[in-house]
């Protein structure tokens, strides 16, 4: 079923296409900073979707839209990424009610220099020191980077609360889309 603008006035009125790509990116990064943790969703070989909480690492720049996560390659999510690299990462900032849905594909990076660039000692606890090889540090072979490259980012930027006047639908925010073309990335299917 296609989107019917007349039957969905809320979405139709909230969609804002008159925002520059740089402003969209800036506002998207604000949502991620406010939410701190996202839900990375992958698809298993049986078609089931699995989500888990993940926190992006590294500094945010207004020009970077890819998401970077440190992860344990012994976890089930890596079998799922081998099955299907298409993922979604969603964020919700409860202080503002803004949210973001980040649709793209995941790349696993084992390059130690990239891992060290994004490593934070606070992450060690997620890995544990299990033996001489697997110490839960940036040199642990289980430690890898998942880079999520976007096809599309849709987000809701909450604004002030709206009050309905004369039967009009209140719009307390803006629905925005960042597509791969806007950030200079190839569309991956």
Domain annotation covers residue 184: no
Domain annotation covers residue 113: yes
Concatenate the DSSP letters of all residues of 80-114 into one string: HHHH--EEEEEEEETTTTEEEEEEEEEEEE--HHH
* CA count, 13 A, side-chain hemisphere, 158: 14
Give the model's pLDDT for residue 102.
Answer: 93
Domain annotation covers residue 97: yes
* CA count, 13 A, side-chain hemisphere, 175: 9
Domain annotation covers residue 187: no
What is the pLDDT tens value at each position of the chain, 189 positions in all?
Answer: 565 656 666 666 667 778 888 888 889 999 999 999 999 999 999 999 999 999 999 655 666 788 999 999 999 999 999 999 999 999 999 999 999 999 999 999 999 999 999 998 888 888 999 999 999 999 999 999 999 998 999 999 998 654 444 555 566 788 899 987 876 654 444
Closest listed residue to residue 141, CA positions, set 106, 107, 111: 111
Please report, for the domain that includes residue 87, its CATH number: 2.30.110.10
Domain annotation covers residue 110: yes
Residue-wise pLDDT for 147-165, tens only, equals 999 899 999 999 865 444 4
Residue-wise pLDDT for 23-35, tens only, equals 888 899 999 999 9
Give the model's pLDDT for residue 138.
Answer: 93
- Please list the residues that pair with 99 across neighbouring strands: 92, 156
Domain annotation covers residue 132: yes
Give the model's pLDDT for residue 60.
Answer: 58
Give the model's pLDDT for residue 42.
Answer: 98
Domain annotation covers residue 19: yes
**Which residue range forms the structural domain that includes residue 58?**
9-179
Give the model's pLDDT for residue 32.
Answer: 92
Count of domains forming the chain: 1
Task: Report which secondary-structure segment, H or E, holds 154.
Answer: strand 143-158
- Please list the residues that pair with 42 across neighbouring strands: 50
Give the model's pLDDT for residue 189.
Answer: 46
Domain annotation covers residue 189: no
Average pLDDT, the chain: 85
129: helix, strand or coil: coil
């Amino acid at each position: 079923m296609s989107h019917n603008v007349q039957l969905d006035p809320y979405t139709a009125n909230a969609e804002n296409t008159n925002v520059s790509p740089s402003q969209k990116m800036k506002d998207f990064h604000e949502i991620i900073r406010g939410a701190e943790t996202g839900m990375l969703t992958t698809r298993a070989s049986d078609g089931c979707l699995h989500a888990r909480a993940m926190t992006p690492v590294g500094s945010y720049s207004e020009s970077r839209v890819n998401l970077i996560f440190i992860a344990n390659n012994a976890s089930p999510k890596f079998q799922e990424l081998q099955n299907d690299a298409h993922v979604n990462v969603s964020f919700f900032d409860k202080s503002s009610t803004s949210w973001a849905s980040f649709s793209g594909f995941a790349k696993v990076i084992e390059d130690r220099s990239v891992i060290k660039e994004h490593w934070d000692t606070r992450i060690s606890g997620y890995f544990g020191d299990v033996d001489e090889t697997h110490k839960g540090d940036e040199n642990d072979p289980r430690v890898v980077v998942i880079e999520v490259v976007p096809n599309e980012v849709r987000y809701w930027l909450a604004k002030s609360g709206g009050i309905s006047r004369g039967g009009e639908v209140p719009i307390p925010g803006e629905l925005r889309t960042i597509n791969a073309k806007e950030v200079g990335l190839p569309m991956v299917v």
